[in-house]
Amino acid sequence: MYRKLRMLRFKPRQTMRCRSCAVIVVAAIAAASFGAASANASASLTFCNDFPHTVFVALAYLQDSGSWLSRGWLEVHTGECLPFDSAIRVTSFYYRGESEAYQSGGKKVWTSWGDKGRMFATWEDDNFQYYGAENRVLKSSLKGYEQGMDIPQEDYDVTVTFKADGGSGETGRTKSQ
């Protein structure tokens, strides 16, 4: 059974205790410039999954204080597209992904995105929200995140898609298109 929190669906703690048990951990880190994005901004960040296994998403964004906030997990099933959180206003972002464990060549494996990118605090065992996420916080570990495309204006939508071949890509458009 999955639980829902602030428009995010999370995998229960007991199923994510070890890396081999992890279901796609997609950690998306959004770097928001709140000085550039007004409270009335309507930009959105959506994650789509074309990968053949479930994907989990975590997000972090820059606070007014200059420190980062990271949050997780959004569960995105194959063929699904979901907004991370409609209240978040970002101008740029980073993301990380890990697939659920699956069999390949007789071995249990998973696919991840963002391993070589910028490091942010992540908690793989359960839901999390870390302030100061540019550093290791509490029981977190630092994980790499891939930088996504910049969001050039308030009335703009960005979609990150986890592709069937294990790659990823982003598209952006103004809402009037």
pLDDT one-digit tens code per residue, 77-118: 999 999 988 787 777 788 888 889 899 999 999 898 888 889
Residue 56: pLDDT over 70: yes
pLDDT value of residue 38: 37
In this predicted structure, the answer to whether residue 27 has a pLDDT above a threshold of 70 is no
Read off the pLDDT of each residue in 125-137 and give the average, rounded to a whole number: 92
DSSP 8-state assignment for residue 134: T
Total domains in the chain come to: 1
- Is 70 within 8 Å of 58 (Cβ atoms)? yes
Q: Do the domain assignments include residue 156?
A: yes
Domain of 22 in residue numbering reads as 3-172
In a domain, 7, yes or no: yes
Q: Does residue 148 belong to any structural domain of this protein?
A: yes
Query: Is the torsion defined by CA of 175, 156, 44, 147 positive or negative?
Result: positive
Domain-embedded: residue 88: yes
Per-residue confidence at 42, pLDDT binned at 50, 70, 90? low
Look at residue 119 and tell me whether its pLDDT is greater than 60. yes
Q: Which two tokens stand for residue 74?
A: 């959004």
CA distance 75 to 134: 23
Mean of per-residue pLDDT scores for the chain: 75
Q: Are strands 92-98 and 81-83 parallel, antiparallel or unpaired?
A: unpaired
In a domain, 45, yes or no: yes
The answer to whether position 177 is within a domain reads: no
Q: CB within 8 A of 38, min separation 6: which ones?
A: 89, 154
The b-or-e profile of 39-73 (16+ CB within 10 A means b, else e) is eebebbbbbbbbbebbbbbbbbbbeeeeebbbbbb
- Give domain status of residue 57, yes or no: yes
Q: Quote the CA–CA distance of 22 and 8 in Å, as a whole number.
A: 17
**The two three-digit tokens of residue 153, written as one number:** 């204006």
98: its two tokens:
């890990």
Residue 105 included in any domain: yes
Q: What angle do CA 156, 90, 54 make, to 5 degrees?
A: 85
Cβ proximity of 118 and 59 under 8 Å: no
